[in-house]
Structure 1
Amino acid sequence: MSNAPAQPSKSLFGAGLLAALAASLCCITPLLAVVGGLGGAASAFAWLEPYRLYLVALTVAVLGFAWYRQLRPTAAAADCCAVPEKKPLMQTTAFLGAVTVLAALLLAFPYYGAALYPTAKSSASAVAATGTAPMWQTRTYRIGGMTCEACAHHVEQAVQQVPGVQTVAVSYNQATAQVRFDAVQAQPAQVESAINSTGYHVLSPTR
Structure 2
Amino acid sequence: MSKTNQSLLGTGLLAALAASLCCITPLLAVVGGLGASAASFSWLAPFRPFLVALTVGVLAFAWYQALKPAGIEDDCGCAVSSQKPVLQSKAFLGFVTVLATVLLAFPYYGTYLQPQAAVAPTSPASTAESPVWQTASYRIKGMTCEACARHVEQAVQRLPGVQSVTVSYDQATALVRFDATKSPVAQVQQAINGTGYHIVPSR
CA distance in 2 between counterparts of 1:97 and 1:194 reads: 43
Deviation at 1:177, TM superposition (A): 0.8
* Paired position in structure 1 for 2:114: 117
One-letter amino acid of the counterpart of residue 15, structure 2: A
Runs of 4+ residues over 6 Å off in structure 1: none
1:41 matches 2:37: yes
CA distance in 2 between counterparts of 1:186 and 1:126 reads: 13
CA distance in 2 between counterparts of 1:186 and 1:119 reads: 21
Cα offsets for 1:149-181 (capped at 9, x unmatched): 000011011111111111111100111111111
Given candidates 23, 28, 32, the residue that maps to 1:32 is 28
CA distance in 1 between counterparts of 2:11 and 2:201 reads: 40
Identity of aligned residues (%): 61
1:158 matches 2:130: no
**1:48-197 equivalent positions in 2, closer than 5 A:** 48-77=44-73, 84-121=81-118, 123=119, 126-129=121-124, 130=126, 131-197=128-194
One-letter amino acid of the counterpart of residue 29, structure 1: T
When residues 182 and 193 of structure 1 are mapped into structure 2, their CA distance, relative to the original with a 3 A threshold, is same
When residues 128 and 138 of structure 1 are mapped into structure 2, their CA distance, relative to the original with a 3 A threshold, is farther
When residues 201 and 83 of structure 1 are mapped into structure 2, their CA distance, relative to the original with a 3 A threshold, is closer
**How many residues align structurally?**
197
TM-score normalised to the size of structure 1?
0.90
* Paired position in structure 1 for 2:7: 11
Cα offsets for 1:73-95 (capped at 9, x unmatched): 011449xxx79432110111111
One-letter amino acid of the counterpart of residue 47, structure 1: W
Q: Is the 8 A contact 1:127 1:165 kept in 2?
A: no
Q: Is the 8 A contact 1:19 1:56 kept in 2?
A: yes
Q: Is the 8 A contact 2:72 2:80 kept in 1?
A: no
Q: Is the 8 A contact 1:140 1:205 kept in 2?
A: no
Cα offsets for 1:19-71 (capped at 9, x unmatched): 00000110001111111111111111111111100000000000000000000
Given candidates 197, 204, 207, the residue that maps to 2:201 is 204
When residues 205 and 170 of structure 1 are mapped into structure 2, their CA distance, relative to the original with a 3 A threshold, is farther
CA RMSD, 1 decimal: 1.8
Q: Is the 8 A contact 1:40 1:199 kept in 2?
A: yes
Structure 1: runs of 5 or more not aligned:
none
Q: Is the 8 A contact 1:143 1:204 kept in 2?
A: no
SS at match of 1:126: coil
